[in-house]
Structure formats: C-alpha cells, structure tokens
C-alpha cells in the first residue's frame, strides 16, 4: 500500500496534504494520485467494518479526501474527472430539511468513485425525477430523519413508476430511523442507517443496473 493511501487511512491530515503537493509538483499522473486516495478510503471502510473506526473517522477521512481532491482536480485532464463508478442522484425527502446524514453519505460516495448530483434537502418527487431524466443516473438515494419522510419517499418511488423509470433506477433510502419495514412501505430496493454500508449497497446496485 502506498505512503499516500496509508496516510489517508491513518488520518494524517498534514502528511496527506504534503504528499499530494509533492506528487503533483513532481509531475505524477493526477489520476494515479486519486486512485491512491481511493485506496486509502477503502482501508478506512475496512477498519470501519472491523469496528476499529467509527463515524468520526469516516467524517475525518472524508474531509481529508475532499481537501486532497481540491488540490488534484485542477490538474486532471478533461474527461479524467468523469471516470466514475456510476452516477447517482441524492437528496433529503420532501418535508425534511436535515442535511448531515446525506452530506456524510455524499462525501463517502464521491470518495468511492460515484458521481453525485446532490439536490439538497426538502426535495420534491418531481425534482428527483427531473434530475434522473437529465443525468440518466441509475441510482437514487433518498435520506430522511423524520417519519413523514417515509410518505415522501413512497411518493417518489410512485412517481418513478409513473415516469416509466422504475426498472432503470435503483432506489436506496437512508437515515437513522429507516428499517426493513420502511423499505417495504416505500418500495425501495435497499435501505441503510450506516453510511459505509450505504456505499457498499450502492456499489451492488450500480452492478445490478449496468
């Protein structure tokens, strides 16, 4: 494992900054630096699974990754930045203005290679549908922290059906109060109350719709 991947995995913020800066200055391929950062994030995910890391470390690593990407992105050639695992539309359900869970999920999904279209909070079903049509994204993630968001999520899935998109788009719902009972009620394909598990589920969903 590279020095950079290990520095990310060990949450060495200053060291990551320095290595990225040095690598860019030495003319290294920016995409290879991104790949190393992503490998570091994979180690973070494994440590989370092993209960060595918790949400706090995921947040820290996400912020370190974001900082690294901010330095690398201007150096990426056109088209390189578009090399993604899958497109995904994300937002918090209509009637719910909580953003923290969605934002953490968005950071980790980006780090895993997803191209995220984040519509923010209080997102109406028609706004989700419109963005899915515009981007052709095969995955929709809806976050919710309040019980009334279940109804908004359900309406969004119904709107997907009405728009003839249901067989082209996999739906995952997330939030501290979602359960298997909620997934069934909403008609979603997957649910999670755990951000790294959500990333894994999205990888599977991306595979399923390719």
Partner 1 sequence: MIEETMTPTERTRAAIKLEPCDRIPVAPLMDVMFPSRHKGMTVAEGIAHPRRGFQAIVDTFDDVGGWDAMILPGYSLPVPPYISAVMQVVIGDTRYPGKDPGISEDSSPQFIEKELLTIEDYDEMIKLGWTGFAEKNLSRFFPLDPELLLAWTKRQMERYKTEGELWKARNIPSLCGGMVMSPLMFLSTRRSLVSFTQDLYRMPDKVQAVMDAMVDDLIKFAIEAAHATGIPGVELILERGGCFYYPLKIFERFEFRYIKKMVDAFAAEGFITVMHLDQDWTLNLPYFLDLPKKMCVCELDSTTDIFKAKEILKDHMCIMGDVPASLSSIGTPAEMTAYCEKLIDQVGKGRTGFILSTGCTIPFDTKFENFQAMIDSVKNHLPA
Residue ranges that bind partner 1, judged by CB under 8 A: 11, 13, 51-57, 59-60, 63, 95-100, 103-104, 121-122, 146-148, 150, 176-179, 181-182, 185, 193
HSE-CB at 62 with a 13 A cutoff on CA atoms is 21
Closest CA to 200 of 10, 42, 62: 42
Query: Strands 114-118 and 139-143, how do they pair?
Result: unpaired
The distance of closest approach from Cβ of residue 100 to partner 1 in the complex, given in angstroms and rounded to an integer, is 5
Nearer to partner 1, 28 or 185 (CB): 185
Report phi then psi at 131, rounded to 5: -70, -35
Strand segments, DSSP code E, in 69-207 are 86-92, 114-118, 139-143, 170-174, 190-192
The distance of closest approach from Cβ of residue 65 to partner 1 in the complex, given in angstroms and rounded to an integer, is 13
The distance of closest approach from Cβ of residue 53 to partner 1 in the complex, given in angstroms and rounded to an integer, is 7
Residue 101: how many other CB atoms lie within 10 Å = 18
Nearer to partner 1, 136 or 148 (CB): 148
Nearer to partner 1, 1 or 177 (CB): 177
Nearer to partner 1, 44 or 206 (CB): 44
């Amino acid at each position: 494992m590279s020095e950079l991947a290990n520095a990310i995995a060990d949450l060495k913020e200053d060291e990551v900054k320095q290595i990225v800066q040095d690598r860019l200055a030495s003319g290294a391929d920016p995409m290879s630096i991104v790949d190393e950062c992503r490998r570091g994030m994979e180690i973070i995910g494994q440590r989370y699974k092993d209960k060595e890391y918790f949400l706090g470390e995921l947040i820290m690593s996400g912020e370190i990754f974001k900082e690294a990407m901010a330095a690398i992105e201007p150096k990426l050639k056109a088209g390189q930045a578009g090399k993604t695992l899958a497109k995904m539309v994300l937002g918090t359900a209509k009637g719910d203005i909580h953003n923290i869970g969605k934002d953490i999920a968005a950071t980790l999904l980006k780090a895993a290679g997803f191209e995220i279209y984040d519509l923010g909070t209080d997102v109406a079903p028609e706004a989700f549908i419109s963005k899915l049509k515009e981007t052709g994204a095969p995955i929709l993630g809806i976050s919710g922290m309040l019980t009334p968001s279940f109804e908004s999520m359900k309406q969004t899935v119904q709107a997907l059906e009405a728009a003839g998109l249901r067989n082209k788009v996999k739906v995952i719902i997330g939030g501290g109060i979602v359960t298997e009972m909620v997934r069934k009620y909403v008609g979603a394909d997957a649910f999670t109350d755990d951000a790294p598990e959500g990333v894994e589920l999205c990888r599977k969903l991306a595979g399923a719709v390719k």
